[in-house]
Chain A
């Protein structure tokens, strides 16, 4: 089977949980979480990324031992990406760059980093990076006929939404899976059904929106008038960091194998659930397909197809119900 390319960043994170001491320098980064989200479903995957001088080779060994091709991870003589992940009392999480962190200019991977041996690729996940890097990749991958699933960089969407609005350069994307926060920033307070159809009109084949603890929706332009809704897998997350990246990876795996967005959204949901069960991403690399299959089979009956015309109303009801359930708990 052709390998999946996972293109993104590897970071060293200092996480401050709600209780207890800070967890320093844990391996993170969207490429790692996406690999963890792919691994349960697909054995053959190759990470393309860059690390700095401090990135422990032990982390790369762990990836290798989990069967991930790390030949596309290039070591650069620069500071690593170093992040703070801050959980706050009263809810919410901030992710910010540390003062001594390396920069995206040096650490975003570029097409020349793809190992020569990896010459036949059909699917690539383009994780959140600075838009200039993503543009280069899109051009390169489209020229090679690769199907691209892309995630947007939240901090860019929030600070410089014009980067993504600008001429719709991301219309070369086949599957676009933004989060609800990104969607609201880019398209304002509009109906989600309208936004989904607008994204596919721009050129994407599939558009999905990650709704956090409510789950996700997805829409395929070849299917008229219906979107698929998958609720989040029921569990108390230990650390939701990386859930969005794992979702995108699982989605791509499901869609690549079945060409069905319902399976895509379901597999994505299951991938995210494993990543959230502990801190960091390495633990989820150990999940095998049988475990993932058991979980997805349990969750499959909760997948719903919803008429686009009713989508927003149905989601509003679900959100209300969820709040009631939370109050009850």
Chain B
């Protein structure tokens, strides 16, 4: 029975890597990376998304063969979402739509796409889709007793003023259990204050966990119920392509929260999910992550966590 569900987008990406290599038409999308991140820890995970007419069927079959519940995937007679993922000097990254991309409006999953068979779902991860769509999902699923983890759309140009208001006013955060933004997103939305105090402030709106993804520095995790903060470092692995790391982190967090109820344990699993994703291009390779290796990494990482958050990070002015 499916217990954790990821809701978001599947896309076809052209990625320009720091090495100058260009990877064209790689299957990606926040929901694909996230659900594969969950799958490292859980055999009871499903995905709700819409694909256009070019997303390869064999890849949908591959994820289904790896025990991911795909009953929530709808194929639409539309262009797929096609993105450029552009790595610039200094590891800055830009994500933009291609000219011939399908529209996120047509391909954002809608509440009507929720499979009736998802009776036992307890935790849902809302990927970075438009705020309005996230709110619609919350309105549909919250009455079923489902809890939420939430990420933000990584394209600032697509965040509407109304949506931002929904976020800044706390109306969105009030409804969720776990908030998982990246540092860049925090800077763009709430810039100008020290990071850790800001996270406490965000937790006051409602989430019991706020974890900010810091890229190669790992993540800063606030367990508001225990009033504790931890710095979870990134796993040191050979990095080929960091695309999707943040989404895989969210997927691991989702599985971890449902399975352990413990934010720190969830963050450890999240970090390890991300570590698998960055070891090769695209997302699908992550299906081959071995449970024994995952457990092995979990033990190593557990020893590296500190609850003494260095001032360089806790006081990091998000300007």
Contact across chains for B24 and A89 when beta carbons are under 8 A apart: yes
Cα distance, A24 to B94, chains bound together (Å): 16
Of A86, A94, A98, which contacts B88 at CB under 8 A? A98
Which A residues, 90 to 131, have Cβ-Cβ distances below 8 Å to chain B? 90-92, 94, 96, 98-100
Knowing A16-B22, A20-B22, the reply to whether A100 touches B99 (Cβ < 8 A) is no
Knowing A99-B94, A100-B88, the reply to whether A88 touches B22 (Cβ < 8 A) is no
Chain B residues with CB below 8 A from A99, complex form: 88, 92-94
Cα distance, A82 to B88, chains bound together (Å): 10
Which B residues, 89 to 105, have Cβ-Cβ distances below 8 Å to chain A? 89-90, 92-94, 96, 98-100
Cα distance, A16 to B15, chains bound together (Å): 10
Instruction: Say how far A4's CB is from chain B's closest CB, in angstroms.
Output: 34
Contact with B along A71-87 (1 / 0, CB 8 A): 00000000000101010
Contact across chains for B100 and A92 when beta carbons are under 8 A apart: yes
Contact across chains for B16 and A94 when beta carbons are under 8 A apart: no
> Nearest chain-A residue to B12 (Cβ)?
A89
Cα distance, A22 to B24, chains bound together (Å): 12
Cα distance, A86 to B14, chains bound together (Å): 10
Contact with A along B101-130 (1 / 0, CB 8 A): 000000000000000000000000000000
Contact across chains for A16 and B16 when beta carbons are under 8 A apart: yes
Of A22, A82, A88, A98, which contacts B98 at CB under 8 A? A88
Contact with A along B209-223 (1 / 0, CB 8 A): 000000000000000
Instruction: Say how far B231's CB is from chain A's closest CB, in angstroms.
Output: 26
Report the count of interface residues on B (CB-CB < 8 A).
Answer: 19
Is B200 an interface residue when CB atoms closer than 8 A count as contact?
no
Chain A residues with CB below 8 A from B133, complex form: none
Contact across chains for B94 and A21 when beta carbons are under 8 A apart: no
Is B43 an interface residue when CB atoms closer than 8 A count as contact?
no
Is A13 an interface residue when CB atoms closer than 8 A count as contact?
no
Contact across chains for A22 and B16 when beta carbons are under 8 A apart: yes
Chain B residues with CB below 8 A from A91, complex form: 100
Which B residues, 1 to 42, have Cβ-Cβ distances below 8 Å to chain A? 14, 16, 20-22, 24-25
Is B166 an interface residue when CB atoms closer than 8 A count as contact?
no
Of A14, A16, A84, A88, which contacts B99 at CB under 8 A? A88
Cα distance, A13 to B89, chains bound together (Å): 12
Chain B residues with CB below 8 A from A21, complex form: 20-22
Knowing A84-B86, A86-B84, A100-B89, the reply to whether A22 touches B96 (Cβ < 8 A) is no
Instruction: Say how far B28's CB is from chain A's closest CB, in angstroms.
Output: 15
Instruction: Say how far B62's CB is from chain A's closest CB, in angstroms.
Output: 23
Contact across chains for B98 and A24 when beta carbons are under 8 A apart: no
Instruction: Say how far A303's CB is from chain B's closest CB, in angstroms.
Output: 33
Cα distance, A21 to B193, chains bound together (Å): 40
Contact across chains for A96 and B96 when beta carbons are under 8 A apart: yes
Cα distance, A84 to B93, chains bound together (Å): 12
Chain A residues with CB below 8 A from B88, complex form: 14, 82, 98-100
Instruction: Say how far B318's CB is from chain A's closest CB, in angstroms.
Output: 17
Contact across chains for A92 and B99 when beta carbons are under 8 A apart: yes
Chain A residues with CB below 8 A from B25, complex form: 89
Chain A residues with CB below 8 A from B94, complex form: 84, 96, 98-99
> Nearest chain-B residue to A99 (Cβ)?
B92
Instruction: Say how far A160's CB is from chain B's closest CB, in angstroms.
Output: 15
Instruction: Say how far A276's CB is from chain B's closest CB, in angstroms.
Output: 20
Contact across chains for A24 and B20 when beta carbons are under 8 A apart: yes
Contact with B along A1-34 (1 / 0, CB 8 A): 0000000000000101000111010000000000
Cα distance, A21 to B22, chains bound together (Å): 5
Contact with B along A250-271 (1 / 0, CB 8 A): 0000000000000000000000
Instruction: Say how far B16's CB is from chain A's closest CB, in angstroms.
Output: 5
Contact with A along B62-98 (1 / 0, CB 8 A): 0000000000000000000000101011101110101
Q: A14-B16, A22-B20, A88-B100 are in contact. List 10 more A-B contacts (CB 8 A).
A: A20-B22, A22-B16, A24-B20, A86-B84, A86-B86, A92-B100, A94-B84, A99-B92, A99-B94, A100-B90
Q: Which residues of A contact B (CB under 8 A)?
A: 14, 16, 20-22, 24, 82, 84, 86, 88-92, 94, 96, 98-100
Q: Which residues of B contact A (CB under 8 A)?
A: 14, 16, 20-22, 24-25, 84, 86, 88-90, 92-94, 96, 98-100
Q: Which 8 A-B pairs have the closest CB atoms?
A: A92-B99, A99-B92, A21-B20, A22-B20, A98-B88, A22-B16, A90-B100, A88-B98
